[in-house]
Amino acid sequence: MREQTRKSNFTHRLIFTHEFEDGWKAADLEHEVKQRFKTHAAPYKDFKDGWSETLTIDELPHLQQLVYDYLTNQPDEANMWVSPKDVFDDDTFKLHTHFYGINKPEFFCIDDDSPDLMDEYFNSLLDAA
């Protein structure tokens, strides 16, 4: 958080912290956040370091729920976490991933290597409003 604070005009405040014994679990949880929330809430030009992990403030209680679910049901290996809210369909043998966020993701995914595309998209939404 110190790194983002130094490079940002936003006010940052630590709300929750947890230290994992296994470092891969922190990366795994970050991956789950990106999969289960609509991220990129802050414009890239305003938050270049860490912008892909930003959420709107109204997502905070849902993020806290995801973190709680992860901490109380930790996986044994990376990329294998199943939320207690995920639903397995016995007929199709598919796991339906629970989307924690209230803001639904868009129909496309922008590569983190091309942040200007996401910024252009958000600017076009603002121009249209």
Question: Which token pair is 64?
Answer: 């806290």
The residue-averaged pLDDT of 17-26 equals 94
In sequence order, what are the residues at sequence separation of 6 or more whose Cβ sits closer than 8 angstroms to the Cβ of residue 5?
A: 12
Instruction: Report whether 5 contacts 12 (CB < 8 A).
Output: yes
Distance CA 125, CA 129 (A): 6
Report pLDDT for 44. Answer: 85
Q: What is the pLDDT of residue 68?
A: 96
* Closest-CA residue to 95 (of 83, 108, 78): 83
Model confidence at 110: pLDDT above 60: no
pTM here is: 0.72
Q: What is the average pLDDT across 26-39?
A: 92
Nearest to 85 by CA among 72, 68, 98, 102: 98
**Measuring CA to CA, which residue among 24, 33, 20 is closest to residue 66?**
33
Region 41-70: mean pLDDT is 88
- Report domain extents, the chain: 20-128
